[in-house]
Structure 1
Amino acid sequence: MALATNSSPNHVPHLSEPLQLGDLTLRNRNIVASALRNRSVPTNVPNDLNLEYYVQRAKGGAGLIMTEGTLVSQQGTEWPHNPGIWSEEQVAGWKKITEAVHAHGTHMFCQLWHTGRVSHPDMEEQKRAGKPVPGPSSIAARGGRFRQLFGAPGYVTPTPIEDPWTIVEEFRHAANMAKKAGFDGVELHSASGYLIHQFLDHTANQRTDMWGGSVENRCRLGLEVLKAMIDVWGPARVGIKISPCGGYNDVGMPLPDTLHTYTYYLTQLGTLKPAYIQLVRHNPRFEATVPVDIGGTVQRVPRATPHDVLAVYAGIVRTRAAHLARGRTEAQLRGPAMPAPAADARNPSPTRVFVNGGLTPAEADALIAEDVVDGAAFATLWICNPDLQRRAERGLPLGKIVDYVTLYAAPEGKDLSYGYTDYPFADPDGCE
């Protein structure tokens, strides 16, 4: 198949536009989303194969790369061979990667992550921590499955975290280590039913102290962790990922509770002026089912609360930001409702809106053109297309994942590069 020439029209002109993200200028709005790959073998230290993976995607034209979920401490993981960011050895491993990615014109953020109650008690790092599986409350997660070890999330009941301020400090330490490793910024993983999300959700968090009960209390941990990260980096270098629809790892509240919680959470996040808020749409591919007694018969039912995430939440960030840009104060914003800014107004906020979840490049381009979002994050498409941006620009066919098992590990008998760094470039000579 003949490749389009460089003079051919760009098929995703809006996705390809540069974006000002805080004090960084991204060369385009196509973002490599965090995706667990579990190739940091034999330890939790990034290795040369990890370096090759990330550099491939920098060569392939990504504007911003998010690391895979990166553990902030030994306590709290369900995945083997997942990289961390709490030790000097890990910092050295990541530093090789950030320097190589920067050499190809791409910026890179480290996603800071703690799995909370879905940690596996027999994971090596969890055992070395010498601590029990932690959670907001003594409520086990239903649904899901561990990929490499026996059992399923929920077969062990978590031990409530006695003092959540210790978690805040773990994230603060990880943010400092990420700065030493040469990252351009950090992202708080506040999605997918992991620890921060567990505190947000009243089905997982039934505490009666300052960290549970009311919406304000359930949102406290996420907000305090983000503040700690901002203390280290400044708001222009910190982002956050949220998934209001829930579903994964047995989280999800009735729609009225979801709307109340996330409206408050996003409003408070907006006052901190982070670089971006990444909104994850409902994606049936990752929908979990849980056992529910229906009329005396136990049936498995979907766990998520599907609703239009962009329609409901994107405007919260953009409307507040627009009013602040026009000289409104936070006190005024807490007053009577005010009309939204003009529909054609570009986002004036220091906080950008990113979307993630089952997108195609064409759909992302349209959402940016319509000024609904500022950028788009792709996970599986970047996994199987190391040159996703180049292919999208030229309108070339996109590859597909060969085997979903390879998302989380190389199949038995295969080299670690299988399904990881062996996806082909459409035009190797056309990449940097």
Structure 2
Amino acid sequence: MQITSVSAPLFQPIQLGSLTLRNRVFMSALTRNRSVPTNVPNDVNLEYYQQRAKSAGLIISEGILITPQGTEWPHAPGIWSREQIAGWKRITDSVHTEGSVIYAQLWHLGRVSHPEAPEQIASGQPVYSPSPISARGGKFRFLPGEPGYVAPTAIDDPTVLLDLFEQAAINAKQAGFDGVELHGANGYLVQQFLDSTSNERTDVWGGSVTNRSRFGLLALQRLIKVFGKDRIGIKLNPGGGYNDMGMPLEETIETYSYFISEADKLGIAYISLVRYLDMFDPVIDGRKRGTPHDILDTYGPLIKKAHIFANGGFTGEEAAATVKAGKASGVFFGIPWITHPDLAKRLQFGKSLDNEIDFLTLYGKNYAPEEEQRSGYVDYPAAKYEQTQIKRRSFISRFFTLLHRNRQRVVSQN
């Protein structure tokens, strides 16, 4: 089989800092809730990542919690304990063996935690956010009565949270991750500081665009301190309304233009820009919550140093055209990776994306044992390929594995 001409732009190697990615088909962070019985990565998690590492150019882990916090996502993994670090180390080793690269997405939920969630109770801490403003909408279906969001406690000193991000990066490095992505999208903590509808502070952490940007930019600097600037990325969703986010258009453009420009000046490896998607924009008080506008065209020209990675409902053909046009260096896919463990390979050789998603098993079974978490997770089939092509893929995989190991050796010697 030959690489299709349509997909060819996605299958040129790309240099990401000191790392060489074998293609430009990336796997976005995907919460799957399979780290049972607690929040430590397990054998079925390892199998899931290993399957996808056989063809992905870059993998971003599912959102990894940086501190014991209650969440509407039971069994999402953390990275604050020695057991969690060891669990992730097994996964990163397996990804590297398959010739791929993996970043840890560092995640703090902020105001969309719940004080009655087991981990939140165990932490002994309140639900923290920039301001005591509850998000609208949402239900905690794993709690009795399915309660909605509650008013959080305004954090007195946000540097306490910055310390948590820095420690999480240290732990991620020990776990063998190649870099870290700051989760700055979807209404979680970093976006809560950026957005004036969730941040009404009057100190240096709120008010002006500069002040609202402070937390996210300082968080990036903390991560750079641990990994170096060429191993850091950030995910942003300027138009999204998920978790009750969204400012007026003019304010949105002003805020994100400043933040993106300043983040780019830090010299980080990439900025992932998520397009506005109507299907993920909730209706609150009778209207869509987000702020629709052309994300790549609005903010792409502001990025001078970092790679622009695109995200948000791309087809393979659209992704290839976006890369060919120079609007992005690579493209993240989400749901297609869930149902197609060999997604990049399918796009490369023109195989159909014919595995339908089972939404009933999307987030696993709450509190079910590990062996029952395989359904809808690691049992989606790969396509059939010619034997000659399998041998070629194996050679390429081994090549990039050796290249990655040599680069790691050089870095450690320096």
Which residue of the partner structure matches residue 351 of structure 2? 396
Task: Please say if residues 240 and 280 of structure 2, whose CA atoms lie closer than 8 Å, have aligned partners that are also in contact.
Answer: no
Aligned-partner Cα distance in 1 for 2:298–2:123: 40
Query: Is 1:53 matched up with 2:8?
Result: no
Q: Distance in 1 between matches of 2:318 and 2:35?
A: 33
Alpha carbons of structure 1 residues 308 and 114: separation in structure 2 relative to 1, 3 Å? same
Q: Does residue 421 of the first structure (1) align with residue 407 of the second (2)?
A: no
Relative to the length of structure 2, the TM-score reads 0.90
Equivalent residue, structure 2, for 1:73: 67
1:405 matches 2:348: no
AA in 2 matched with 1:271: K
1:302 to 285, 288, 292: 288
1:411 and 1:126 map into 2 onto residues whose CA distance is: 17
Partner of 2:308: 353
In structure 2, the residue matched to 1:133 is 127
Instruction: Give the 3-state SS of the residue equivalent to 1:83 in structure 2.
Output: coil
Question: Is residue 39 of structure 2 the alignment partner of residue 44 of structure 1?
Answer: yes
Q: Give the counterpart letter for 2:44 in structure 1.
A: L
Matched, 1:183 2:177: yes
Contact 2:9–2:320 (CA under 8 A) maintained in structure 1: yes
Q: Structure 1 residues 387 and 160, CA, compared in 2 at 3 Å: closer, same or farther?
A: same
| 1:133 and 1:159 in contact (8 A); partners too | yes
Matched-pair identity in %: 51
Q: Which residue of 2 aligns with 1:376?
A: 331
Matched, 1:312 2:284: no
Offset, 1:96: 0.3
In structure 2, relative to structure 1, the CA distance for the partners of 1:239 and 1:147 (3 Å cut) is farther
1:301 offset after TM fit, Å?
1.3
List per-residue Cα deviations over 1:153-185 (Å, max 9, x = no partner).
754111111110001000000000000000100
Distance 2:26 2:167 in 1: 26
Are 1:118 and 2:104 counterparts? no
1:39–1:50 contact (8 Å) kept in structure 2: yes
Query: Which residue of 52, 58, 75 maps to 1:64?
Result: 58
Q: Could you tell me whether the CA contact under 8 Å between 1:145 and 1:151 is conserved in 2?
A: no
Moved over 4 A (4+): 150-154, 411-414
Number of the residue aligned with 2:411 = none
- SS in structure 1 at match of 2:8: coil
Offset, 1:261: 0.2
Of 12-21 and 397-406, the range deviating more from structure 2: 397-406
With over 3 angstroms needed to count, the CA separation of the structure-2 counterparts of 1:155 and 1:233, relative to structure 1, is closer
Q: Which runs of 5+ in 1 are unaligned?
A: 292-299, 322-348
Deviation of residue 145 (structure 1)?
3.1
Gap change, CA 1:280 and 1:156, over 3 Å in 2: same
- Give the structure-1-normalised TM-score: 0.86
Give yes or no for contact 1:15–1:368 (8 Å, CA) kept in 2. Answer: yes
Encode CA deviations 1:369-428: one digit per residue, 9 max, x unaligned.
Answer: 000100000110111110001111111110344322322224898921111101000027
> How far 1:224 sits from its partner (Å)?
0.5
Tell me the distance in 1 between the aligned counterparts of 2:135 and 2:194. Answer: 14
Q: Kindly indicate whether the alpha-carbon contact (under 8 Å) linking 2:72 and 2:140 is maintained by their aligned counterparts in 1.
A: yes
2:15 match? 20
1:27 counterpart letter in structure 2: R
Query: Does the 8 Å contact 1:55/1:100 carry over to 2?
Result: yes
Q: What is the aligned partner in structure 2 of residue 324 from structure 1?
A: none
Q: Which has the higher helix share?
A: 2
Aligned with 1:288 (options 282, 296, 301): 282
- Show the counterpart of 2:154: 160
The aligned amino acid for 1:355 is A
SS state at 1:211 partner: coil
Are the equivalent residues in 2 in contact too, given 1:175–1:232 (CA < 8 A)? yes
Structure-2 change in CA distance of 1:152 and 1:373 (3 Å): farther
CA deviation profile, 1:327-384 (whole Å, cap 9, x unmatched): xxxxxxxxxxxxxxxxxxxxxx3x1000100111110100000001000001101111
**Larger displacement relative to structure 2 (136-145 or 301-310):** 136-145
Correspondence 1:73-222 to 2 at 5 A? 73-75=67-69, 77-150=71-144, 154-222=148-216
Aligned letter for 1:58? A
**Alpha-carbon distance in 1 for matches of 2:147, 2:363:** 16
- Equivalent position amino acid for 2:316 in 1: P
Kept in 1, the 8 Å contact 2:141–2:147? The answer is: no
Q: How far does residue 15 in structure 1 lie from its aligned partner after superposition?
A: 0.7
**Alpha carbons 1:98, 1:183 under 8 Å: kept:** yes
In structure 1, which of residues 199, 223, 234 is the aligned counterpart of residue 217 of structure 2?
223
Where does structure 2 lack aligned partners over 5 or more consecutive residues? 395-414
Indicate conservation of the 8 Å contact 1:76/1:116, yes or no: no
Contact 1:80-1:148 at 8 Å conserved across structures = yes
Using the TM superposition, give the Cα deviation of residue 130 of structure 1 relative to its aligned residue in structure 2, in angstroms: 0.9
Letter in 2 for 1:358: G
Cα separation, partners in 2 of 1:415 and 1:63, compared to 1, 3 Å: same
Deviation, structure 1 residue 152: 6.2
CA RMSD of aligned residues (A): 1.7
Matched letter for residue 13 of structure 2? P
Give the Cα separation in 1 of the matches to 2:77 and 2:23. Answer: 27
Q: Distance in 2 between matches of 1:247 and 1:8?
A: 38
Evaluate the alpha carbon distance shift between residue 316 and residue 357 of structure 1 in structure 2; reply closer, same or farther with a 3 A threshold.
Answer: same
What SS class does the counterpart of residue 372 from structure 2 fall into? coil
Counterpart check, 1:272 vs 2:266: yes
* Alignment partners' CA distance in 2, 1:204 and 1:129: 24
Distance 1:147 1:355 in 2: 32
Give SS of 1:69's match. Answer: strand
Superposed CA offset, 1:105-126 (max 9, x none): 0000000000110002222211
Structure 1 residue 387 and structure 2 residue 373: aligned? no
Q: What secondary structure, in the 3-state scheme, does the structure 1 residue paired with 2:186 have?
A: coil
Change (3 A) 1:412 1:401: farther
